[in-house]
Amino acid sequence: MLQEITDFLHHHISVAYGDVVVTVLLLLLIAICSFAGYYVCKRILEFVEKIIARSETEWDDDLLNSRFLSAVSQLAPALVVKWMLPGFFAKTPDSVHILSIVTSIYILATVVYMITIFNSNLYNAFARRPRLNRLAVKGIVQMLNLITIALGIIIALSIIVGKTPIAILTALGASAAVLSLVFKDTIMGFVASIQLSVNDMVNVGDWIVVDKYGANGSVLTISLTTVKVCNWDNSISTIPPYALVSESFKNYRNMQKVGARRVERSVYIDINSVGYCSPDTLGRLSDRGWLGETTVEQASSTVNLRLFRDYLMSYLRQRPDIRKDTTLMVRQLQPTTQGLPVQLYFFSSVTKWEDFEAIQADVFDHVYASVKEFGLSLFQSPAGSDFSHMS
């Protein structure tokens, strides 16, 4: 049919430069048809967009949004041109060769653009869902976009030089070593992003500590080449993803998930103060209820440090902000030249930093204030004022 239109025009236009006039008319007809195709495609896609907006599922709204549909509509005029050019100029293909190449490259660029938009929409869809936004998919999406663009460039080169993409890839094989060196970080980042995602090692929002890079804070983004961490002093640390795979780091996600944060802290008792309590001390402790179920008679033969440890265990068990279903103990550690360490080991039921520090401080404020009631003394290195009192 298209060739018949061409023959009809050539037969009825016999003026000077008739071939040029026919060519211009045919190109004008192609342009009109391409604009008409764009208009029709856009109207159809607007109708599709309304159907998507009315559907109950939200995934189609995220993946097939107006930006993606707009990219699809841009494909219509190029397809019309690609279809009509060979039909109108079948007998003189060389005259429109360049235009055909440009059209093919435009179609290819539009397809690449559509794929990258779809990948970005997929990432945004994951980011909007609380159960999926922690997955490290940003690096994977970025790598998919890079692969799509690279394949698009290779196919575009094959269209320009008139060779197959395999031939272009073969030619590029000689420079593979250089390309691997240039894109080393990108390749390593892509592999690391997959490992981080598959093994669920780190997600956006996790609190991580990477001592080597001075990072201690919440993960902001996980991209193809960097992991950004907002430290607690509001500074930003940038870490390569492969460093989190090849090296050790600490992730506090499980602590936040379980809702139990550990306290492991010691006070140092002066060993010289360890002994038996006097009757007055025992009477005072009994009146306060600090001996628990131990009678004064039993306590008189019990070392004051044991009474103090038993009291601290009872005190910790009574606090509502301390988990009782986890490890809870007050224990002695190996004596040191600074005294005898008595360690409190328990888990707070609050993981928020400010509240956790307040609970920890309250517990040890009480420890420091109550230790002397058992006739014990905390070890403290003498200061200048202590030596002045000795003179």
Calpha distance 100→154 (Å, rounded):
18
β-partners of residue 231 are 217
Position 87 pLDDT exceeds 50 = yes
Position 128 pLDDT exceeds 50 = yes
Least confident of 18-32, 120-134, 228-242: 18-32
Contact between 165 and 173 (Cβ < 8 Å): no
Using CB atoms within 10 A of its CB, is residue 378 exposed (0-12), middle (13-18) or buried (19+)? middle
**Which tokens in the block code for residue 201?**
């090692």
Taking residues 219-223, report their average pLDDT. Answer: 84
β-partners of residue 250 are 209
Q: What is the largest CA-CA distance in the chain?
A: 131
More confident residue, 189 or 264: 264
Position 151 pLDDT exceeds 80 = yes
Position 18 pLDDT exceeds 50 = no
Label residue 313 by pLDDT band (50, 70, 90): very high
Label residue 2 by pLDDT band (50, 70, 90): very low
Contact between 129 and 61 (Cβ < 8 Å): no
Report CA dihedral (300, 306, 309, 313) to the nearest 10 degrees. -70
Predicted local confidence at residue 383, as pLDDT: 57
Taking residues 313-324, report their average pLDDT. Answer: 92
Label residue 15 by pLDDT band (50, 70, 90): very low
More confident residue, 336 or 68: 336
Taking residues 124-144, report their average pLDDT. Answer: 70
More confident residue, 24 or 245: 245
Position 32 pLDDT exceeds 60 = yes
User: What percent of the chain stands above pLDDT 70?
Assistant: 77
Helix (H) / strand (E) element for 347: namely strand 340-348
Least confident of 137-146, 205-214, 342-351: 137-146
Residue partners of 233: CB distance under 8 A and separation at least 6: none
Taking residues 112-137, report their average pLDDT. Answer: 75
Position 173 pLDDT exceeds 70 = no
Predicted local confidence at residue 365, as pLDDT: 94
Predicted local confidence at residue 122, as pLDDT: 80
Return the amino acid letter for 221.
Answer: T
Position 186 pLDDT exceeds 80 = no
List of domains in the chain: 2-133 (no CATH), 196-255 (2.30.30.60), 260-374 (3.30.70.100)
Q: What angle do CA 205, 362, 336 make, to 5 degrees?
A: 95
Write down the mean pLDDT value for the chain: 79
Provide the edge-to-edge strand list for the sheet that holds 227-231.
236-239, 227-231, 215-222, 207-210, 250-251
Predicted local confidence at residue 303, as pLDDT: 94
Predicted local confidence at residue 89, as pLDDT: 57
Using CB atoms within 10 A of its CB, is residue 353 exposed (0-12), middle (13-18) or buried (19+)? exposed
